[in-house]
Every structure is written in C-alpha cells, then in structure tokens.
Chain A
Amino acid sequence: MTKNSKYRYSQSLKLSVRALQNRSAPKYPPRDAIEKVLQAGRETQQPLWQKVLPAIRRTAAIVAIALVIFGAILSWLKINHPSTAFARIVEPLLQARSATCHAIFRMAGLPEIEAEVFYKDTGKLRLELDTGLNYLVDAGDAYMVGMMPKYKTAMEIDFDPMPQAPVPQLVTGWVFELRRQIEIAQKNNLKKVVYLGLTELDGIAVHKYQLWNPQSKIFIWADKDTLILRRMQITIEPITGCLCVLDLVNFGFDTLLDDRLFDTRIPDDYIVQKVTLNASEPSEADLLEALKTFTDLTGGYYPDSLTALGLHQTARRYTPRQLLWQVITLKPQTPGMSELLTFIVTQARGLIFFQSLPDVCDAHYIGQDVSVNDPDRIIFYYRPVSKDTYRIIYADLTVEEVHPDNLAEIIP
C-alpha cells in the first residue's frame, strides 16, 4: 500500500464518518413512537408478583434456616449421645466463645445462597451473603441491620414486641441456641442419634451421624482421627414444600474475631430504611392475617397448600398484577421495601404457625381451589393443644368451634 493510497483511505473514512456525524435528526423522536414504547412498557412491565414470589421463596428459605436453627434444633432436646465420640464432636459447639463457618443454602428453584457466618457468644452475629449483603445482629438489643456497601443502603430491623425466648436465639445466635439445646439434650435419654459408620468426605475419613426429627434430617460428619466437626447438613422440606438443604462447613471455633466485624452502626452516607417486625410467637390470628393478605393478592383464591411452594404456585395462577401492586406498593413503580418485607413476614408467620402445630392438633388445610366467594367452604381446621374442641376456619375467615363428635358431619 503506497503512502498516497493510505492517505486516501484515511481521508475517505474520515469524510464518511463526518457525513454520518453531521446528519441532523429531527429534535424529538415521533410522539407516537414514544407512546408505543411507554405503552409496551406498561403492558410488559415485570409484574411485582414475579419479584415478590421469589422473595417469598427466599424468605421461606430463611424461615427454613430459622426452622433449622429453631424448630429442628429443638429436636436436640431428644438427643441421646450414643457414644463418647459424638459428645466430643459437639463439645466445641458447647464450649466455644466464638465460631465461624461457611453456609450454603440450596432450595429448588432458587439460586444457591452462600454466606460466611461469624458468631460471638456475646450474642453477636454477622452474616456475609454472597450477594454483597451483610447482616449484623445484636441479640442483646434484639436489633438487626442489613447493609449493602455496594449501594450504600441499609435496612434497620427492630422487633416489636421484644422477642421472647427462644425467638431471640432463633433470630440472633444460632450457635447459642444450638449449644443450649445440646445441653438440654444431654440431660435426656432418647435415642435420636444414629451412627452411620465411617465414610469419606473430601478425601478424608470421617464418622457420619444422623439426627432424627420430623421436620428435618440432620447429618454430621466429623474427622475420624481428630473428631473435629467437618460438616453439618440439614435437609428440610415441610414449610417450603420443596427440598431445601443447608450445609455448614469450614467450622472454626474460638478464633479471634475483631469487634469491628459486629459493629451495627450505619455509616452516615447510607440511605436507611426502617422496619419493625412482629417477633411474637405466631398464633391463629397470624394465619388468618396471612390468608387474608394472600387472597387480597390472588383475587380471592386460597393457596394450594400452606407451604412456600403452595403460595408460589397459587399466586402465579391467580395474581392480577394491579392488585398486587396495590397490596404491596405505596405507589406504582416505587415498591416500598418495608411493605414488601411486612407482607413476606405476614405470610411467613402464618406458615410457621401452621407448621409448628404438633401432630396432636390434627391440623388440616383444605383450601385448595377455594375462594372467598364460597363462604361456607372450610379451608382449615385444627384442635388447639389445650382445647377439647376443633377450630374450623371458613373461606370468609370466620372461625367456629366444633366438638370432635360433630366434626365428621361438617368436614367434606
């Protein structure tokens, strides 16, 4: 290529680019084009329920974790330590002043959630989620704050009323609760721990144990030689309606943890939202409230089942977008995070109430395909622990007490 031709090439490109740059467009895009785009946006706007439902499921995941920490761990009440080895394995959980571990939570239909967990027995907990969100919990003050350094946003969560035990431990210090339950378990004499023999974990010979519980399965792996806790796996299904697995690995006990890790103060330049959550023990009223807000969402239809999956499936079928907006948002396109969280917690509390009813309550949910327009249809019945009569909840959410002898007459 000669110098001349090279020059000519550059010139022709330069002139062509300039010609394109010089094209002057009409100042504004055609109005009808803008209107069509806006309209398409309104029609195809991501319905909020598509956002809310995964959030419900994610919350259910958190509830499931809570159950693991709270409900399932309560099963440790019934643990009998079958061997000296097992007692030694759980000893660090009883004695450690601080603990760290890596948590991996898997739930069908959700991306894996991973978190680094830091705990101090002063009741302080720090969870660093892989999404960049950090949760800091102070058990003493029943205070929790979530911070997203990337966006400089924070959410303060207060509990009202102040949670009663064991809720504080549930919300705040799972290691503390685990420890407490093990201590209680040591005083009991029930055979709920099964030794599954020697196996291999990441190339290391380990002992494997299983703890039995109606709500969950807990497996524990410990090093064959040192009896160091290697992994805990908790599988839980009832409340979510699908398989959820929580793996806790890389345990560290009595590690030095800087107090700054647990500093709950929010930097001045953060945007802060405040939420107050009901931390009292869920009751029937919570179930009624959850059902009511759910039917507001779905145009009157009750969930297929009282599980996170049941809520998800039903809402997908019935939720009109606009209605969901009204329920969840303060105004369209600016969903209030606190309203969203309150809605989710309302649902979660209803679920927890149902799932925590013991077998003797003979609780049955039969609300599938029932709508509020069928006020005579029964959606739920159970017998409270301390009562001789059944509580029947109808589709209009009225409650009737019925003697067990008369139950067969009214239950379809």
Chain B
Amino acid sequence: MIDWETVVRENQDMVWRLAYRLLGREADAADCFQETFLDALKIARRESVRNWTGLLKRVTIARALDRLRNRKRNSVMTLDESLAPDNRQMLPSHRMEQQELAIQLQDALAQLPQDQAEVFCLKYLNGESYQTIAYITGQNINTVGVNLHRARNKLRVLLDGECEEKY
C-alpha cells in the first residue's frame, strides 16, 4: 500500500522547486505540482514504484516541459515572477537580463527532444550525477552522456540564434 502522505511530504519541496525553476510562475508551478503527483499516483497504480523521488523528478520535468511547449505554441508571454521587483533585490537592468536569459532557455528547452531535455534538467537544474540520472531515467550511463552532449549543443545553437536575432 502506498503511504501517499509520506510520499507527498517527503517530496513536495523538491517537486515545487523544480517546477518553479522551470516555469517561473507560481500558478503554472502549482498546476504542474498537482499534475506531477497525480500522474505519479496513476503510474503507481499500474506498477510498483521503488524510487518515488526519481519518479517524481522525471514526471515534474516532463509536465513542466509540456507546459513550456504549450506556452511556446500559443506564444504566451510570461512574466518571471521569481525576478519580479518585489521578489529580488537586483538592479532593474540585471533583473531584466536574468529574466530574458531564463525565458530564452525555457523556450529552447521546449524545443529539445524529451530525452535530452530531461537529462539536461536533471543535470543542471537538479545537480544530479550521471549515475543518478542513469538510475532515474533507466538509461545507460553512456546514453545519458550522449543525450546531455546533444542537449548542450542544441541549446547553444538555439540560444545563440536568439541572441543573434536580438543584436
């Protein structure tokens, strides 16, 4: 029997932080938070879950990326609330720059294949090791390396394209 309350209690902060970092808006992150736990619950009803944290990380990233792709398709303008004036003590110019960089990366991530985006987020947003990523995603450690390499290359190209358009 799933001890659901324990699962939620032990992972809610991690899921929340990850969702928020990827989405940058509280309302979106809250929706993603709920979707993540509900999807994980559905998975748990189909098969036994041994690593709840790993599963929840993967699902959070997947749901957040879905939202980012959706935003991109619908060309939704986003306000990065984490960098809103009342949230951060920064120079306005710096704040704007950070916001723009974060949004660019969000857009770029939304264009990556799922495997690559997932590995990238686990590595750079969650700070997981190659071994842990391999364990969480069920990929071979070499595949993790290859996916990460490809993700970085694609992101560089996408981000640079954005930069060049702007300058």
Binding site for B on A (CB under 8 A): 5, 8-10, 12-13, 15-26, 28-30, 33-34, 36-38, 40-42, 44-46, 48, 51, 329, 333-335
Contact = CB atoms under 8 A, between A and B. Distances in A.
A288 B42 CA distance: 38
B132 to A, nearest CB: 17
Given A19-B102, A40-B41, A13 B155 contact: yes
Contacts of B42: 44
Interface size class of B (residues with CB under 8 A): 35 or more
Contacts of B20: 23, 25-26
A150 to B, nearest CB: 10
Contacts of A48: 1
A16 B38 contact: no
A26 B17 CA distance: 8
Given A9-B160, A13-B155, A33-B30, A24 B82 contact: yes
Contact of A12 (B80, B99, B159): B159
Given A29-B30, A30-B30, A41-B37, A23 B157 contact: no
B16 A25 contact: yes
A10 B3 CA distance: 44
Contacts of A17: 105, 124-125
B156 A12 contact: yes
Contacts of A28: 13, 16
Nearest to B90: A22
A33 B1 contact: no
A20 B5 contact: no
Given A23-B80, A29-B15, A16 B41 contact: no
Q: Which of B13, B17, B33, B101 has the largest count of A CB atoms less than 10 A from its CB?
A: B101
A46 B8 contact: no
B98 A19 contact: yes
B147 interface: no
A37 B33 contact: yes
A20 B106 contact: yes
B45 interface: yes
A46 B101 contact: no
Contacts of B21: 20-21, 23, 25
Contacts of B104: 16
B1 A334 contact: yes
Contacts of A41: 2, 4-5, 7-8, 37, 41
B26 interface: yes
Given A25-B29, A29-B15, A37-B37, A46 B2 contact: yes
B87 interface: yes
Given A29-B33, A46-B1, A333-B2, 4 more contacts: A9-B157, A13-B105, A24-B88, A37-B38
B163 interface: yes
Counting from the closest, the 4 A-B pairs by CB-CB distance are A25-B20, A41-B4, A9-B156, A16-B105
Interface in B81-121: 82-83, 87-88, 98-99, 101-102, 104-106, 108
A34 B30 CA distance: 9
Contacts of B83: 23
Q: Which of B1, B15, B108, B155 has the largest count of A CB atoms less than 10 A from its CB?
A: B1
Contact of A20 (B12, B16, B125): B125
